[in-house]
Structure 1
Amino acid sequence: MLIAVYLVLAIAATFRSVYQILTKFDEAPVAYALSAAAGVVYILATVALVNRDRPGWRGIAWAAILFELVGVLVVGTLSLTVPEWFSHPSVWSGFGVGYVFIPLVLPVLGLIWLARTRGDAAARAGGGSR
């Protein structure tokens, strides 16, 4: 379920930002560039979560999801404290209010899930015996 939500958010954020960049980038370049960056991070997180049991991918998932959490916290805070920087909303503006706060909750759930499944991955990599 978590991966499915990541996939939906990756598609939504990416396509929205591509449309905005192509049609009205000059109106809010920072917001639209941040939305594009968020879309790329969601795509990377989705791919990494799907491949989390392959060598190196779990670390990429951790890095992408941590980056996502920091991004939504920083952009969310700045969008409230310096609103003139965000004349148009980005995916992470207002802590993801335009996406029903999913951008704020999703990385927390992703990090919890990665932490809880760490032993499962180690067991599978080691042949399942301990």
Structure 2
Amino acid sequence: MPEPSASGATPPASRSGPGRVLVAVYAIFALAATARAAVQIATRFEEAPLAYLLSALAGLIYIVATVGIARAGRTSHRVAVVACAVELAGVLAVGTASVFEPALFPDDTVWSRFGSGYLFIPLVLPVLGLLWLGHVNRRESRWAGQPPR
């Protein structure tokens, strides 16, 4: 159970323990995917526009998930859940398409082949994010004496 602060408020669970690690990994992926996509779009867009736009989308989703997981509050929690779910759907869809129709992606995206170029972290990260958000939801609901969100 989280310890109340001097003001009596409970610190957000994402700011301690595994939540900090998750936020850090999301932030790294947000920066890496966004920066890579920006360079690719600026310098080689005509080579693989779909792949580069999907990488930019992945970067934006990582940014939204990072902020949502890092912040406390019901709205941030919901935004993070949606971002992680969209991310998981994206990595599954793009991963499947890149395996069965590789011609669609003349260059890799973050999600190509289920994130194999990134040690499959893009596949595992949204699952961990959703599990963590479920844990935080249950923990905060129990502490506040409310039913889970």
Q: TM-score, normalised by structure 2?
A: 0.81
Q: Which residue of 1 aligns with 2:26?
A: 6
1:1-130 alignment, distance < 5 Å: 1-51=21-71, 53-123=72-142, 126=144
User: What 5-or-longer segments of structure 1 have no aligned partner?
Assistant: none
| Code of the aligned partner of 1:18 | A
Q: Which residue of 1 aligns with 2:18?
A: none
Aligned length: 126
| Code of the aligned partner of 2:117 | G
CA distance in 2, matches of 1:82, 1:38: 20
User: What 5-or-longer segments of structure 2 have no aligned partner?
Assistant: 1-20
Which of the pair has more CA radius of gyration? Answer: 2
- State, as a whole percentage, how many aligned pairs show the same letter: 48
Q: C-alpha offsets along residues 27-75 of structure 1, whole Å, 9 cap, x if unaligned? A: 0000000000000000000000011x22311100000000000000000
CA distance in 2, matches of 1:101, 1:123: 34
The two structures, once aligned, show a CA RMSD in angstroms of 1.3
